[in-house]
Structure 1
Amino acid sequence: MSFVRPELLFLAAILPVSIIAVLWAARRRRDDLTKIGNPRLVARLSSTINYTGRRVKVGLWLMALALIVVAMARPVWGSQVATVEQQGSQVMIALDISMSMLAEDIKPNRLERAKLEIAEIMQRLDGDELGLVVFSGAAFVQFPLTFDFATARGFVQDADPGMISRQGTVLSDAIRVAVRGFDDQRPGQKAVIVITDGEDQEGDPIAAAAEAAADGIKVHTVGMGTPQGGPIPEPGTSNGATRYKSNRDGQTVLSSLNEEILRQIADAGDGFYFRTVGDRSAAAAIAREIASLEKGTIESEIETTRIERFQIFLLIALIALVAFELVPDRTGSYALFSRRGERRIS
C-alpha cells in the first residue's frame, strides 16, 4: 500500500495527544466524584457507570480518528487497466527561416516573434498533434507530429537561417512537405499553418494550397513583418557593428511583408490569413481555428492506473462512530435522592 498524499499522515500525531486528553478527563471525573465527600452517594452514583463501555467508546473514537487520517492520505493498492482514446487534430506548421525573417520591423525580429507565436499556439492546443517544417530555399521536417511539446519547443528554438544553405522562399515546397507529414490513416481534419513574410516566392504556392484543400486540409497563413518593411541584418563586422543587406548599387535592401500572396494562399487553401501586429499575438485566433476542426481519434493507448481505497477507511470510520453512539455510558438502573424522596431512573 502507498499513499497519494503521504505528507498528511503527520496528522496521526494527534492520536497520542487525544489519548492523553482522554486519560486526563477520566482522572478529572474521578477527582470530582471524590470531592463530593459522601462515600455512600459516590458509590451510588458510580455503581452504574459502564466502565467497559467507556473504554470501548474511547477505542472506537480513536480508531475512527486514525482511519480518517489514513483516508485523507488517499491510500492506493492494486491497479486497473483502461483504453484511453486521445481526440484531436493534426497540425503542421511551416516556418520560414530565410534571411528576410531576421528583419526587425517587428520585435525582436520576425523569426524570433514567429517562435513566440508557435510556443503560444502549443500552450493553447488541447489534445492536438503538432509537427514543424522549416523552409527557405528548400523545405524539410524539423520534427514530425508529436504530443511531446516540451521537446518540440527545443526544436523550434533551434530553427535558424543557417540550417539551409540555399536561400529563397519556396512556399509551395513547404506546403507539400507539410501535407506529406500527416497520417492519412487517422480520422479528423488537418491543417497547415504557414508562418512567413511571403517574400521571394518560388514555384506556385497557391496551387499547392489548392491541392491541400482538395484533400480536406486547410491551409492558414500568418504574416510576419510590416508592409513598410525593414532592412535585413547580415553578420556584423569585427567591431560588432550590424551590417544590412544591400543591392549592387550599395543601397540597403528593405524586406516588406507580402500580404497579398498570403491572402491568396489562404483563400486557395480554404483557410484564413492572420497577421501579428505590434504586441498583439495571432496565436489565440489560430488556436480557435484549430479548435474548430473536426476531431478524430489520433491516439489510443492502454493506461494502467492504481486504485484509490480511501472509501474503505471512511466506511469503517463511519461504522466506528455509529457504534460509539450506540454504546451506553451506564448499565441497569440507578437511584438518585431528591428532597422529595427516592426516585428510580432506568
Structure 2
Amino acid sequence: MKRRVLFSSGIKALVLAGLTPLAARAQMIRGRAPQALRSMVVEAVQMPAWSTEGGQRRPLAPGDTVSTAQEVQTDAGAALVLRLPEGSLIRLGEKTRLGVQRLEVGDADGRTAVRSEMTLFDGFFRFATSAVAKAVGQRQINVTLRTATIGIRGTDFWSMTDAAHDAACIFEGRIDLDTRDQGALVLDKPTAFWARFFQQPVQPVGNATPQQLATFLGSTELSPGKGVALTGGRWQVLALGTRDSREALRVAGRLRAAGYPAQSVAQGGGHEVRISGLATREDAQAVLARIAGVEGVNGRVVSSV
C-alpha cells in the first residue's frame, strides 16, 4: 500500500506539471532508465521454479533477477512472471525451460532499449508489452524455438514448443518468424496462428479458434491459491522450528533443491525454516501440502503481519 501511495503521489506531481497520466508515468520511468536494473526481475512465481547459472541452480522468489547466461525452469503445476527493464512481461507456464543467451539494456534517446536473445527449449511462453512500456522502451528480442526464431519489437503474443511441434499466436501487434521449413512469415493480425508439427506436412498460417485462444492464455497464467508468491505477499510457510541450527540448514537445503526459496532464520533462541512472500493463506497451504513429504518438514501456515 505504501509503495502504491508513493507512486500515485509522484504521478500527481507530474500531472500538475501539465503531463497526462500516461506521459507522466512514462517520464518517471525514463527518468529512472540510467539506473534501471540491467536484468529481468521476478514479478511473481507459482512455486516451484528455478534459475540456473554456471551449473548452479537456485529457487526463484519475487524480486530475484535473471540475466545473461542464465536459464529459468518451472516444474509441473508452476508458473513464472518476469518483468523486463522497460516494463514488458514474460509469462512462463508449467514445465517450461527458457534460456537467456544475451540481455543488454541501454539508453536510446531517453528510452530504455532492451536487446536479447533467448531460447525456449520446452513449454509455454507469453510476451506482453503495455502501452507504457511501448512509450518508454525499445525492444529487439529474438526467441528461438525448435524450428523457428520469433522477432519481437513490442507486442502481445503466445508461443510454445515440445517434442511434437512449435506454435505461435499473435494477440496484438506483430511478430516476425524466421522458420526452418517455410522461410520468413509475419503474424500481424489478431488470432493469427502458426504451428509446425514435425512429423506432418507444412501447414499455412491460420487463425486460432476461441477455444484455442482460451487454452493458450490459460497455459501461462498464475493459478490463485496454488502456491503463488509475489512482492509484498504476507503469508509464510513455517516449515520447521528447531533448536538445531544444522537441522534447520539441512531442511532449508532440501526445500531449496526442490525449488522452494526457503530460508533458515534465528528466532527466539531457536531456528525457523520459512518460505515467505505467499499471496494468500490458500497459496501458503498449497505450498505446505506440496512440501509435506520433504524429510524434516513439520510445518504450518502463518501470517507475516
| TM-score bin, normalised by smaller chain | under 0.3
Larger radius of gyration: 1
Relative contact order higher in (CA < 8 Å, ≥ 6 apart): 1
| Greater share of helix | 1
If the length of structure 2 is used for normalisation, what is the TM-score? 0.22
